[in-house]
Chain A
């Protein structure tokens, strides 16, 4: 039986005293989410610098080209804000709201994809190194799928570093949410560059990349949180 006096047990005190270096308090969820925005914008814009804006942007118009991507990007930051709340022990949001926003974000991505396809079903050719190229669909699927997964993966790693002190609880759920944020943010930039509007390509290759970043975020978040939890276990 452990002594229930208000004095901490010796073993606990020893474990605490071993590691008492000062720490910087984690920012509030909104600030943490806003701090991720410039990084997300930078990484998601790289594809635009590499291949330029899709050739059919004139047909799509500014609303469906830039406006839709801005909406996706805002949803991505919202998902990251929810992730920051989910990992705060006393700041969790209602489960219903978390699930609703997550599903809504994914539905918005699907709706934008369908709208883009309905207005410009043919798409355009790809600019590579200043020349127009006709690229086989399978190669485009692989390029977009792998490319946006790698870009999303980089963003997930950066977010994991930013969240490293903020994973108080539910690290797997928080990781999946900021992974979803990373995936949606990357897709916001990628869709302005990718000239292939077909649903198979846009939902298959780009959608798979979003799913991959969700899984990667969940894995890294779970690993970071689990490591923290189990190291506490070992100390006891």
Chain B
């Protein structure tokens, strides 16, 4: 990031290569699986470029870019027309990743359905911690909550996911 702030195009390409896939999955989660996530991804990296002077090397790059991505999503959600476009896709199941801790709890499809049943806050904290590996302090900084609240959201999310998966399995049985 420091090389990128110094004007290196190669440094930008390296950052993109390392982060784009994970940021896209995060945006896809926020946008409920909409194809709009691709546009948001490009906007996130453009926003990162515009805001590169705002980055301080004392912060880790990954949560900083994820925080920007979240902001890009929220800014776009405010635009009513685009928000409507995002909601058109809500009928389809979002492209939720299946993280290792949940892998044994059910099939991929069941887990995706289970995560879709969680509240947006719980699902976001759960995925940021278990799928993308952020610490609770990093999640707190990204979401504007305390580390304890981030831990509680992820923990409740996991508990609710187990309940949702159990009821799904009982229904199938």
Residues of A within 8 A of B (CB): 1-2, 4, 6-9, 11-13, 15-17, 19-28, 86-98, 165-170, 228-229, 231-233, 235-236
Contacts and interface: CB of A to CB of B under 8 A. Distances in A.
B51 A94 contact: no
Contact of A8 (B20, B53, B138): B20
Contacts of B41: 2
B98 interface: no
A95 B144 contact: yes
A23 B18 CA distance: 22
A32 B105 CA distance: 48
Contacts of A6: 16-18, 20-21
Contact of B55 (A22, A26, A86, A231): A26
B5 A22 contact: yes
B42 A9 contact: yes
Quick one: which of B5, B42, B66, B68 has the most chain A CB within 10 A?
B42
A228 to B, nearest CB: 5
Interface in B137-155: 138, 140-146, 149
Contacts of A19: 49
Interface of B: 2, 5-9, 12-13, 16-18, 20-21, 24, 35, 38-39, 41-43, 45-47, 49-60, 63-68, 70-72, 75, 138, 140-146, 149
Contact of A235 (B2, B39, B46): B46
B54 A166 contact: yes
SS class, residues of chain B in contact with chain A: helix
Contact of A24 (B46, B53, B68, B144): B53
Given A1-B35, A16-B12, A26-B54, A7 B17 contact: yes
B51 A168 contact: yes
A28 B144 contact: no
SS class, residues of chain A in contact with chain B: loop
18 contacts: A2-B42, A7-B13, A8-B12, A8-B20, A20-B9, A22-B7, A25-B57, A26-B56, A27-B56, A28-B56, A86-B144, A88-B141, A89-B68, A89-B70, A90-B141, A97-B146, A169-B68, A228-B50
Contacts of B63: 89-90
A23 B141 contact: no
A1 B144 contact: no
A98 B146 CA distance: 11
A95 B5 contact: no
Quick one: which of B53, B60, B66 has the most chain A CB within 10 A?
B53
A228 B43 contact: no
Contact of A94 (B38, B57, B144): B144
Quick one: which of A2, A11, A90, A97 has the most chain B CB within 10 A?
A90
Given A1-B38, A91-B59, A23 B142 contact: no
A84 B9 CA distance: 28
A87 B68 CA distance: 10
B141 to A, nearest CB: 5
Contacts of B6: 22
Contacts of A4: 20-21, 24
Nearest to B13: A8
A24 B38 CA distance: 30
